[in-house]
Amino acid sequence: MKISYSPYTLKPTQNLATISNMSERKGVLLKIEWLDGLTGYSDLHPWSELGDQTWEQQLADMRTGQISQMLEQSIWMARRDAQARQQNKSLFDGLPTVKNNYLITDVRVEKPDILNYLKKEGFETIKIKLGRDLQKEAEFVSGLGLDGAFKLRLDFNALGTWQTYERFMKNLNKVALTRVQYVEDPFPFDEQLWLEAKKFAPLAIDNEFQKVDLNKLKTKPFDVVILKPAKMDVSSTLQACVMHDLKITVTSYMDHPVGVMHALAVACELKKGNPQRVLDAGCLTMPLFQMDSYSAMVVQAGPYLKRADARGVGFSLLFLREPWNQLKTR
């Protein structure tokens, strides 16, 4: 297996989350060539704020035979891309389209007429990242909840406590509470406290999932698993969700358009096989960054993303133009 890489920089157009700032995001595109003649492409986009090693460190470890979970996922996605390219097919061929939630990363800068825009565009689900100003955010969510057209997803990134979470949820009006589809990582995982927190709304587990052994749980403290193909094994996560009767939301990793489209392809594939288990995806993250040649090739139509071209994950011409560097092994 020969690995080549091409570094990139994404420039945010807004605050991405409470765990980050407006600084540029860095990652690498990967080109992987196998001995059977197949070539595929993927993305590696670490978030050090979430404990990921830098891409430089992950590739350096690869030289000595150590493969991180993220890099293993990148190789897996590149292989899927390579197999589709060999067959002259798209990763999306024969799959249903999947709606995405609209993402609000900072309520302080959101447009006043946002609800009218979202209705016009056909969105059904809104995700709001919380933690900058809980009072203002509670007022904003309560306002959204008065409009029965939308399901709400609230994301605390496990930054709060049971006390701050309880206070926030009690500040929401009752109508808004009925519109909450789920709350992601309300505070660091604790089985009993999460079980108690479910009295306000269903819970979803995202970054806290790595702390959980599902087979050791005595109760069902969450209802939804956030599946990020960029860093989570898809097959084993799906199997666990089926076994424990959990819903799934597939999301991108706020990464490069190549990573976004890989995540969306996984969402469409899982939706086909598990239509009742797989919820609206969370892959509309490209607008968070300045447009580049890759994002310009992906067409957004309301809550849907359209594939870039008809082979593999797309972007074929752009991959040919990348200044690839071959990863040297010892």
Q: How far apart are CA 224 and CA 204, in angstroms?
A: 4
Q: How far apart are CA 157 and CA 159, in angstroms?
A: 5
Contact 141, 173 (CB under 8 A): no
CA distances from 167 to 161, 200, 259 (A): 10, 11, 36
Q: Where are the alpha helices (H) located in 20-179, listed in sequence order?
A: 55-63, 69-86, 114-121, 134-145, 162-171, 174-179
Q: How far apart are CA 102 and CA 303, in angstroms?
A: 7
Task: Identify which of 8, 24, 72 has the alpha carbon closest to the alpha carbon of residue 235.
Answer: 72
Task: Identify which of 191, 183, 19, 23 has the alpha carbon closest to the alpha carbon of residue 106.
Answer: 19
User: What one-character DSSP code corresponds to residue 308?
Assistant: S
| 218: amino acid identity, one letter | K
The SS3 assignment for 154 reads strand
Q: Which residue has the tokens 């239509």?
A: 275
Could you give the maximum distance between any two Cα atoms of the chain, in Å?
61
Q: How far apart are CA 146 and CA 125, in angstroms?
A: 14
Q: Which active-site residues does the annotation give?
A: 129, 228
Q: How far apart are CA 46 and CA 70, in angstroms?
A: 8
Distance in Å from the first CA to the final CA of the chain: 14
Q: How far apart are CA 45 and CA 255, in angstroms?
A: 6
